[in-house]
Amino acid sequence: MSEIRPEDHGKLLSVGEVAQRSGVAVSALHFYERKGLIESVRNSGNQRRYKRDVLRRVAIIKVAQRVGIPLTEIAEAFSTLPRGRTPDVADWEKMSSIWHDDLNERIQALIALRDQLTGCIGCGCLSIASCPLRNYMDRLSDSGPGAHFPPLR
């Protein structure tokens, strides 16, 4: 958090104003700030104040989260943006293109799961030993039922 410059006084928003305008809870804004996704400055009473560009950043966070982008990846994308300016259309295009391939991979994985589920509904066994959904990639299943731990070295 940095200090408030005199020329910024009339342009800054309180945490409540950001919450109201963005539709995001105050606690979420504090969380985003702890994660380094947004930043605030402090006034003389030690209250958080946000530059107006935080509204665009919060909008990007919410859209990215809605399509399943983890906060760590959002933070990585934000780290490529210039500090002190509102993200623009070109910034959004750059970030969204980075996430595009990942989203396509996840979509394909979900389609495969959906198709497996359809087969599972037809089978109905839900066997812990052989069901590909219930026992996905279980390497220790050949050891028999119950909990198994790999040998210590």
Torsion of CA 82, 87, 91, 92, to 10 degrees: 150
Residue 75: per-residue pLDDT:
92
Residues 6+ apart with CB under 8 A from 126: 120, 133, 134
What tens digit of pLDDT does each residue of 105-126 get? 989 989 988 887 777 666 766 6
What tens digit of pLDDT does each residue of 34-61 get? 999 999 998 888 899 999 999 999 999 9
pLDDT classification of 15: cutoffs 50, 70, 90: very high
